[in-house]
Amino acid sequence: MSTRPLSLSVVILAAGQGKRMKSDLPKVLQPLAGRPLLKHVIDTARQLDPTSVHVVYGHGGDRVRETLKDEKVSWVLQAEQLGTGHAVMQAAKHLQDDEVVLVLYGDVPLTKSQTLDELLSLANAKAMSLLTVMLDDPTGYGRVIRDSREQVQKIVEQKDASKKELLARECNSGVMAMHAKHLKSWLSRLSNDNAQGEYYLTDVIAMAVKDGIKVNPLVVANAAEVLGVNDKVQLSEVEAVHRREKARELMLAGATIVDPARIDIRGDVTIGKDVYLDVNVVLEGKVTLGNRVHIGPNCVIRDCTIEEGTDVLPNSVLDRAIIGPDCHIGPFARIRPSSTLARGVHIGNFVEVKNSQIGEGSKANHLTYLGDSTIGSKVNVGAGTVTCNYDGANKSRTQIDDGAFIGSGSMLVAPVKIGEGATIGAGSTITKDAPASKLTIARGKQVTIDGWKRPVKKPSP
């Protein structure tokens, strides 16, 4: 059983420019599953319940801080990028001597909290811990050098490694944990006498060995956990790994996913039994899918609750809405924020619903806009109906009571109320309340013009 330090500080190094990204966006703000890389790392750190989280930032600093302004972290500026050791030096003054310090990287987003928990259990007053990885092709990575007794002795960066050292396949991930008191001492002794002219944090390994502090390595089981992102190719590779992992989690929870390679899960998804997800479905934010929910191809579901038995047909977009049980949505439907659909509602092709509440069993099956509306149960809204909710300055509401029937092509000019059981004749423009249980028609007089001729195209000169 692993033991955790009583007091933990996390230092996240996020100051790199990321020139290879060929982007104006700072590297740590590049998107992974719809969230910045750095946000993924902060979220993982939070799962460890640390006393504090310090983010060392530099390139694009104002933009980084503004984008993540809601994160409860300590921001530490690294004005000059002089290496990983120099970056940690900037945070050192914020660390308490009796804390354990965990060093993470803002461009390494897939490390699991369970792995870090195990790494932390190996760090104590007499030992530090180091996350390593075995690679078939270790090119570009610092090598972990062990002695004849398999004890870690040092880390050598590739540019400084000898031919023999380059043969080592165990590589440094950069992730490490140690007591702050030791770390501060080692940082004060760092030198930039190397091929890069930088202060390497990895040099503390050899210092620990020299000081009699044991280095406990933890070889990560899945190399994907320590993948770093330096260019758009690596970003796509990390995205693919993340997508596979999220799809696997849902399938193990019971979801049927038609093609795990063609689904994007960009948030926290909770599912019931027998959920079915077709190809090219995108799930963003906090999504809850009840038993037997069926999502068709090419749908986007964002921050929604969809209750059991509901069918979402292809090419529909649902955003910050609550969908009741046994509803039928789409194809090509759009449900916008602050909308609530009760049981058995039908929203059909090219129907848009915005900030509206629709009662049980009501239907709007074709080419309709329902905005800022309160609609009762068993209402039928005909094709081409529009709730005219905006006068150019203010939004107003439309109320349609239980059992009303709205004929096709009707314009309901808000604020307006359609009474219970009322019928609106097709093609009407309703500007006043329509009484319950009666037929209301508002049309211009139909006229046929005798002798009228259709215009003809003038001959070319």
Let me know if 303 is exposed, middle or buried by CB neighbors in 10 A (0-12, 13-18, 19+): middle
Give the pTM. Answer: 0.86
Distances (CA, A) of 3 to 113, 114, 118, 146, 220: 14, 12, 8, 26, 18
Concerning whether 346 is annotated as a catalytic residue, the answer is no
Joined together, the tokens standing for residue 10 give 């996390």
3-state SS, one letter per residue, for the chain:
CCCCCCCEEEEEEECCCCHHHCCCCCHHHCEECCEEHHHHHHHHHHCCCCCEEEEEECCCHHHHHHHCCCCCCEEEECCCCCCHHHHHHHHHCCCCCCCEEEEEECCCCCCCHHHHHHHHHCCECCEEEEEEEECCCCCCCCEEEECCCCCEEEEECHHHCCCCHHHCCEEEEEEEEEEHHHHHHHHHCCCCCCCCCCCCCCHHHHHHHHCCCEEEEEECCCHHHHCCCCCHHHHHHHHHHHHHHHHHHHHHCCCEECCHHHEEEEEEEEECCCCEECCCEEEEEEEEECCCCEECCCCEEECCEECCCCEECCCCEEECEEECCCCEECCCCEECCCEEECCCCEEEEEEEEECCEECCCCEEEEEEEEECEEECCCCEECCCCEEECECCCCECCEEECCCCEECCCCEEECCEEECCCCEECCCCEECCCECCCCEECCCCCCCCCCCCCCCCCCCCC
pLDDT for 4: 55
* Active-site position among 59, 94, 294, 366: 366
> Which pLDDT does position 33 carry in this prediction?
93
User: Model confidence over 147-158: pLDDT tens digits?
Assistant: 988 999 999 988
Task: Tell me the domains of the chain and their CATH numbers.
Answer: 8-226 (3.90.550.10), 232-440 (2.160.10.10)
Amino acid of residue 417:
K
User: Residue length, the chain?
Assistant: 461
Spatial contact of 357 and 374, defined as CB atoms under 8 Å apart:
yes
- pLDDT tens, per residue, the chain with 461 residues: 345 556 999 999 999 888 899 999 999 999 999 999 999 999 999 999 999 999 999 978 899 999 999 999 999 999 888 999 999 999 999 999 999 999 999 999 999 999 999 999 999 889 999 999 999 888 888 899 999 889 999 999 888 889 898 889 999 999 999 999 999 999 999 999 888 889 999 999 999 999 999 999 999 999 999 999 999 999 999 999 999 999 999 999 999 999 999 999 999 999 999 999 999 999 999 999 999 999 999 999 999 999 999 999 999 999 999 999 999 999 999 999 999 999 999 999 999 999 999 999 999 999 999 999 999 999 999 999 999 999 999 999 999 999 999 999 999 999 999 999 999 999 999 999 999 999 999 998 888 899 988 889 888 87
- 243's torsion region: left (phi>0), alpha (psi -120 to 50) or beta? alpha
**458 contacts 441 by C-beta, under 8 angstroms:** no
Specify whether the CB–CB gap between 133 and 173 falls below 8 A.
yes
How does pLDDT run across 98-114, given as a tens digit for each residue? 999 999 999 999 999 99
Which tokens is 193 given?
Answer: 């006498």
